[in-house]
Amino acid sequence: MRNRGAKSLVGLTRREALLAAVAAPAMAGNLGAWPIGPDLRAAARVSNRFFGAAVQADQLRHDAPFREAVMGQCDCLTPELELKWAAVQPVAARFDFARMDALAGFARHHGKRLHGHTLLWHRSIPGWARAAIAETRDWAIIHRFFAAVIARYDGIVDYWDVVNEPIEIGDSPTHLRRSPFLDAFGLDYVRRALDSARALSPKGRLLINEYGIEYADLASESRRGALLALIDRLRQQGVPLDGIGIQAHLDLQKGQLDQAVFARFLQDLADRNLLVLITELDVREADPRLPWAERDEQVAGAVRAFLDVALDQAAVRGVTTWGFSDRYSWLNDDGRGVMQPGRNRGLPFDAALRPKPFVQAIATALRRVPYIVPPPVEIVPLQVDSMFDTTPPP
């Protein structure tokens, strides 16, 4: 039993593979219903936005019904694992693009775009790089990695998460997270990362992607403040930053979203001329003992409260969910490293690929046409004297 959670070659646990095999033929027959089902791509087009999902190449390769559903609903795919540094450069002298190429191949074949997730992330540094950075403090190590992935995928990537999760309150005077990057290159490493990315991708939209900035609790408030301060420092230095990715890992245990607080934050970003993407939307449930229908309503309610505010903001260009169906979700981990499809019901489609109220919530929100504030009208002062006789009576 010790191996129950072990990943097979295709990245699935044995249990996942078995469940996928059982579910796949059953679902194939249901696909005929798709054209009349919710169409998230069409909904996104209404307001000139996009809908996307994070997926793994192996899921698309081995699970045909899942692939069909993803391709039917998404404009853009985020590699859940394939582009991370530890995945593409496991040893210093060798880049391994096999899985990322497979995902890019699917995307190209089906006319999809990719979200470039992610260049610098403290949780995905290959061991050799961690050691080399600490020892040499040589930025060229980072630049070589950036150059390899950007050169290969820039043509199909619109947005790059150049720095992922840089904020951690209390870790440093400016609340930049303590990481091998901060240790080796100091507080300036975010600027260097964005400058390097811009040199390699003149047209890519360069983002900082962050979590824990959605709710109104004190911790989230501090994280928002630290992020805005970072943005302002970068802007003062003329650093190329085009936008912010808001991860949006919603959590029912955190209670209701304060819509006014979140709307204010989005406006703070928009006021800084930044574009905003919702990059990793999913919902962690609070009580898995409730009936499915009730759970799905709670999840959809949280999504509705969030997206109705997010998509009222014209700066928000698109929505990506972190996963697509409960069949494959990082939230399905049972706490002991064993993946259980459908354990958490926090994605748009259930483990059998049936749409849940979550889908309706996204579709409705996506159809909101962003309200663009009209430019102030110049008021020409009336030429009173030429229109009226203003001569005072004698």
Reported in sequence order, the residue ranges of 134-246 that DSSP labels E, i.e. its strands, are 157-164, 205-210, 243-246
Nearer of residues 80 and 285 to ligand XIL, judged by Cβ: 80
- Element (DSSP H or E) covering residue 190: helix 189-200
The pair of structure tokens assigned to 64 is 């045909």
The set of residues, in sequence order, having a beta carbon less than 8 Å from that of 279 and lying 6+ positions away, is: 78, 115, 117, 161, 209, 245, 246, 247, 248, 320
Q: Sign (positive/negative) of CA torsion 97, 103, 104, 109?
A: positive
Nearer of residues 280 and 285 to ligand XIL, judged by Cβ: 280
Location of structure tokens 């890992």: 249
Cα-based angle 166, 88, 196 (whole degrees, multiple of 5)? 50
**Cβ 153 to ligand XIL shortest distance, Å:** 16
Using CB atoms, what's the residue nearest to ligand XIL? 330
Nearer of residues 38 and 212 to ligand XIL, judged by Cβ: 212
CA 241 from centroid of its chain's CA atoms: 16
Cα-based angle 177, 154, 52 (whole degrees, multiple of 5)? 75
**Cβ 367 to ligand XIL shortest distance, Å:** 27
Nearer of residues 63 and 280 to ligand XIL, judged by Cβ: 280
**Cβ 106 to ligand XIL shortest distance, Å:** 18
Nearer of residues 43 and 190 to ligand XIL, judged by Cβ: 190
**Cβ 54 to ligand XIL shortest distance, Å:** 7
Burial class (CB in 10 A: 0-12, 13-18, 19+), 144: middle
Report which DSSP code applies to 375: P
Nearer of residues 130 and 367 to ligand XIL, judged by Cβ: 130
Residue 149 to residue 390: CA distance in whole angstroms: 73
For 150, other C-beta atoms within 10 Å of its C-beta total 20
**Cβ 331 to ligand XIL shortest distance, Å:** 9
**Cβ 328 to ligand XIL shortest distance, Å:** 9
**Cβ 318 to ligand XIL shortest distance, Å:** 16
Residue 321 to residue 346: CA distance in whole angstroms: 10
Residue 394 to residue 392: CA distance in whole angstroms: 6
Residue 258 to residue 238: CA distance in whole angstroms: 33
Q: Which residues bind ligand XIL (CB under 6 A)?
A: 80-81, 164, 247, 280, 330
**Cβ 76 to ligand XIL shortest distance, Å:** 16
Nearer of residues 247 and 344 to ligand XIL, judged by Cβ: 247
Nearer of residues 38 and 126 to ligand XIL, judged by Cβ: 126
Nearer of residues 53 and 363 to ligand XIL, judged by Cβ: 53
**Cβ 281 to ligand XIL shortest distance, Å:** 12
**Cβ 114 to ligand XIL shortest distance, Å:** 14
CA 33 from centroid of its chain's CA atoms: 29
The set of residues, in sequence order, having a beta carbon less than 8 Å from that of 21 and lying 6+ positions away, is: none
Nearer of residues 73 and 279 to ligand XIL, judged by Cβ: 279
Report which DSSP code applies to 154: G
End-to-end alpha-carbon separation of the chain, Å? 107
Burial class (CB in 10 A: 0-12, 13-18, 19+), 44: buried
